[in-house]
Homo-oligomer: A and B are copies of this chain.
Amino acid sequence: MTTSWRERPVGIVGLGLIGGSLGLDLRRQGLEVRALVHRESTAERARQRGLASQVSTESAVLQDCGLVVLALPLDRLLEPPTGLRQALPAAAVVTDVGSVKGPVLQRWHHWHSRFVASHPMAGTAEAGVEAGIEGLFQGRPWVATPEADTEAEALESVRQLAQLLGAQWLSCPAAAHDQAVALISHMPVLVSAALLQAADQGAQSADDPAQVAALVRQLASSGFADTSRIGGGNPELGTLMAQSNREAVVAALGVYRRQLQGLEQLVEQQRWGELQEELSRCQQLRPDFL
């Protein structure tokens, strides 16, 4: 199997957290990295940070690349900037980093013959051209969601890229990926957001609303901070995930609602032994997810 992609420049479209981190790591590995960005101000800052060997706002920068990573936010990936599709070399392997795979494949499957849908599951709270860091993908899952007619050599190229970055390679159908991330990432954002709303709104029905409203803020500790972290995160991102993975998120919310109702019933009906059993099962479950 040829590994020709490594003998040519690697293209990156977008130099935010993922694109910038990719650029830093690939350059450290001795590869030539050519990046396409939207704004000249981003290009300048990316050059200063050394995120790529060459950074341009002109799509021609991609023309000699053997592999191109579309490191765009999901909405721009699904509705690519004018000219991007035409700028991708037909001979290049093309992959993306989107966190929902069904809608990406629906489009890109037809748009590029050597497209491989993938999702490196790495992140920090940062975004933008300052966000990229070295080693972001080290030890993190990198999930590919090939289809029956995904080209084997293209898939192998993306696997090698992930391996080069120290990521853990996984492969599964897009539907399974999207259902899994709905359960462990997208639905939990809404569960966590509702907690912030409830802590804020719950005081209103208290005996002394103003006093309880002040107390919840004074008394919230690290447990509440942890449980509310993702619900207080980037609203555009949370919305975009729900929007592009709606069916799986609605299903996951349904499962969640039934589980919570079950616990609520145990409390209402004072079935303390059963509640403790359920909580014990949760305590046993959690290490599997760490």
Binding site for B on A (CB under 8 A): 121, 123, 140-141, 143, 170, 172-173, 175-177, 179-185, 187-203, 205-208, 211-212, 215-221, 223-236, 238-239, 242-243, 246, 249-253, 255-257, 259-264, 267-268, 270, 272, 275-283, 285-290
Contact = CB atoms under 8 A, between A and B. Distances in A.
Contact of A229 (B207, B227, B281): B227
A259 B184 contact: no
Given A191-B227, A257-B264, 14 more contacts: A179-B202, A179-B215, A180-B203, A180-B212, A180-B216, A183-B203, A183-B212, A191-B260, A197-B282, A216-B289, A227-B230, A232-B287, A239-B276, A250-B264
Contact of A183 (B202, B257, B281): B202
Contact of A235 (B180, B196, B201, B276): B276
Contacts of A252: 198, 202
Contacts of A235: 276-277, 279-280, 282-283
Contact of A188 (B223, B272, B285): B223
Contacts of A246: 267, 270
Contacts of A243: 270, 272
Nearest to A287: B232
A179 B255 contact: no
A275 B199 contact: no
A56 to B, nearest CB: 32
A285 B170 CA distance: 37
27 contacts: A141-B218, A141-B219, A170-B218, A176-B207, A176-B208, A176-B212, A179-B202, A181-B219, A183-B202, A184-B199, A184-B221, A187-B198, A188-B223, A191-B260, A192-B227, A193-B279, A198-B256, A202-B255, A223-B229, A226-B227, A232-B282, A246-B267, A246-B270, A253-B260, A256-B260, A257-B261, A260-B260
